[in-house]
Structure 1
Amino acid sequence: MTRAANGSPPLDTDPCPCRSGDGFGACCGPRLSGDTPAPTAETLMRSRYTAFAVGDTGYLLRSWHPRTRPRTLDLDPEQRWLLLEVLRTERGGPFDDSGVVEFRAHFRAAGTRGSLHESSRFTRVGGRWVYVDGDIADDRR
């Protein structure tokens, strides 16, 4: 079972961490459980954000392209993901084979706030969307 960072599983009626406006059970929950594949690159990116938020390393590895996937993945248990902003999408629709999603994900770690600004690349493998890699933007001012 997928567990939230605080150790308790998200309920189907809880707001989805990706902030789609839907409950976890109607949004990313079925994707993390493997019941429903992501229909678009953006949907996969949102479900991967949710997997980071709830600490589901299994889903993160399964949804990563086999060519670029790390052997293991260790998440920082002290890092809390707070907010996802989807900034731009390029292709990645139901009839595309590749796509890009630019996003900013806000977090808190070691008592300070930060954000990750990335343009992620996605492709289909065996008919399913997977994360390939991404370019991290330098937002320092």
Structure 2
Amino acid sequence: MDIIRLRTMTLKSSFTGGLWEGVSIRILIGRGQRFYCVFCYYKYSTITYTDDVLELLGITKEIQIPKPGADISMLKKWKKVNSLDKMSDDERIKFMSHINSNYHRKAKGKLRAMKHSKSVLAARNMKKY
């Protein structure tokens, strides 16, 4: 009998690998990276979220999948349910203004800087890279 460990992630939990390694769910949602969190939910069989995180990500009871399990085809249904066309005007304005804010650009730049080694950053400052 195989034992499967589910990783239930909260807003404070951070990813341990992949593109956003070491970044918490709250920061990803704030930066407009909801799609990456949803993608991980549907692709990886061991990752699940608490109910409050599922609500923030827009994953309703109808489009949830039983865990452990993965079903990448449900991602298309999530896209249909959470498209910008179905949002009200106020929700759309809030969503789009947050994505384009200066805070988002600055935070993304800081994250890029953290991903590089000291030597690469030194070369960039000297315009050699």
TM bucket (normalised to shorter chain) is 0.3 to 0.5
Normalized per residue, the structure richer in helix is 2
Normalized per residue, the structure richer in strand is 1
Larger radius of gyration: 2
Superposition TM-score, scaled by structure 2 size: 0.38
